[in-house]
Amino acid sequence: MFKRLCLALGLSVFCASSMARDNALPLPLASDMPVEVQLTQQELAIDVSSTAMEMGMQFGLVGALIGTAVQNAKNKNAEATVLPLRNMMVGYDFETPLMRSLQRRLPGSGIADRPVITVVHAPWEARQDLDGMPKHVLVIRPRYAMGDAMGTAYVLLNVTIENRQIKNGTVKTRFLFSRPYAVRSSFQLPATGESRPWLDLGAARMGGLIDQSIDQAVAMMVYDFSAEGRQQWDQKIKGKSDIAGRSVSGRIERREGDVVWVRAGNTRFQAITGYQWLRSDYQPAALPVAVPNQAVAVEAAASQAVAPTPSGADTSIVQVAAASHSEPVPSVSASAAVDTPAHPVQAPAETSVSTEPGKRKTFWETYRPKDQPIPQGQAAHP
């Protein structure tokens, strides 16, 4: 009996410390909090349920083979259904609206006063330079996709706060916080398994819908890390809410235009999801554009003209200081060094710019190893 009592007491203390871990996060997280965006997706994805394979696994080897065959057929049908929509959205740039929303909403929030935003297009890019890798970082892993049966288009931001420790040349990660922020858009009269309602929107309206979903997901994240949002972290949310005649799990938190924010989960596993119901005449709302401070831009240009960056210097992180403390400006990490000459070359009066979109590089063309330089004194053989 005494052992059981000690075990119960130990488990209660452990659970209490685990539940209080989120609220122990400072507000803001850090003045110059590193924000790492791992954008590894290249095109619109589609979700396919794995129920066929899971059901087949319950009936031995033969059932597993049958379940695998059924699952492969479902995957092929889903890819064939989403292909016209992918072709329509082949020129869509997901990174630009995401960075615009982050640069507009993160400064001065409960995350950071002056966030240092870095974008990587492969998970291992952030760990190539172990010495320069931030040890305490907020990581955003975005995803945009069509739901199962093409009934929903959603944007998801998986946000984690990580402590990284380098030991024996390897990186050990400890997760301090993890939460998804998603915006799901569905038609009021869905056509199951068809892409026609989404194709009827056209590339412009479909792109505007994704842009709006990105901005709403970033707004959810910023709100959740605010003082008002953190007060909800310790609450266990039960029940369901009615949205446009449909029942969803959770409690309505806020309403932003046509998007209804719903918080669901317990004290340890919470999520905020935005629901939006569309009509065939849907028109995306215009999003505000983050305009940089003109005085800061002029000062930065003058400093570059007077003191140019030396050739070969490592300038992978570009930071712009704010003109006043009341208007913090985020720092954005570039993917290559910047070399600014002391006397900029005058551009020709007439230049011809091609309006045709450039050919998109494949993954292996983007990340293939560079050719090794030929040492001096050795002839290059064909």
Q: Residue 250 above 80 pLDDT?
A: yes
* Nearest alpha carbon to residue 274 among 189, 152, 92: 152
**Cα-flanking dihedrals φ and ψ of residue 366, to 5°?**
-75, -40
Contact 303, 88 (CB under 8 A): no
Comparing 66-75, 123-132, 273-282, 356-365, the range with the smallest average pLDDT is 356-365
* Nearest alpha carbon to residue 119 among 42, 41, 43, 38: 38
Determine how β-strand 270-278 pairs with β-strand 240-243.
unpaired
| Confidence category of residue 16, pLDDT binned at 50, 70, 90 | very low
The pLDDT of residue 51: 67
The CA-atom distances, in angstroms, between 160 and each of 38, 121, 157, 165 are 11, 17, 10, 16
Q: Residue 58 above 50 pLDDT?
A: yes
The pLDDT of residue 108: 94
| Confidence category of residue 268, pLDDT binned at 50, 70, 90 | confident
Among 22-31, 83-92, 188-197, 336-345, top mean pLDDT goes to 83-92
Amino acid at 294: Q
Give dist(CA 313, CA 152) in Å, integer. Answer: 47
- Within 10 Å of residue 380's Cβ, how many Cβ atoms? 5
| Confidence category of residue 281, pLDDT binned at 50, 70, 90 | confident
Predicted confidence (pLDDT) per residue in 98-117, tens digit: 999 999 999 999 999 999 99
The DSSP H or E segment spanning 210 is: helix 196-224
| Confidence category of residue 148, pLDDT binned at 50, 70, 90 | confident
| Confidence category of residue 290, pLDDT binned at 50, 70, 90 | low
Predicted confidence (pLDDT) per residue in 341-371, tens digit: 444 444 444 444 444 444 555 444 544 444 5
Average pLDDT over residues 68-85: 84
Q: Residue 232 above 80 pLDDT?
A: yes
Domain limits of the chain?
34-278
| Confidence category of residue 66, pLDDT binned at 50, 70, 90 | confident
Average pLDDT over residues 67-94: 87
Give dist(CA 199, CA 123) in Å, integer. Answer: 32
Give dist(CA 37, CA 28) in Å, integer. Answer: 19
Determine how β-strand 116-120 pairs with β-strand 152-167.
unpaired
Angle of helix 196-224 versus helix 95-105 axis, rounded to 10: 30
Give dist(CA 133, CA 163) in Å, integer. Answer: 11
Q: Residue 126 above 80 pLDDT?
A: no
- Whole-number mean pLDDT of the chain? 75
Comparing 46-60, 94-108, 280-294, 326-340, the range with the smallest average pLDDT is 326-340
The pLDDT of residue 94: 95
Average pLDDT over residues 18-37: 79
The larger pLDDT score, comparing residue 272 to residue 296, is at: 272
Predicted confidence (pLDDT) per residue in 206-227, tens digit: 999 999 999 999 999 999 999 9
| Confidence category of residue 194, pLDDT binned at 50, 70, 90 | confident
Average pLDDT over residues 164-183: 91
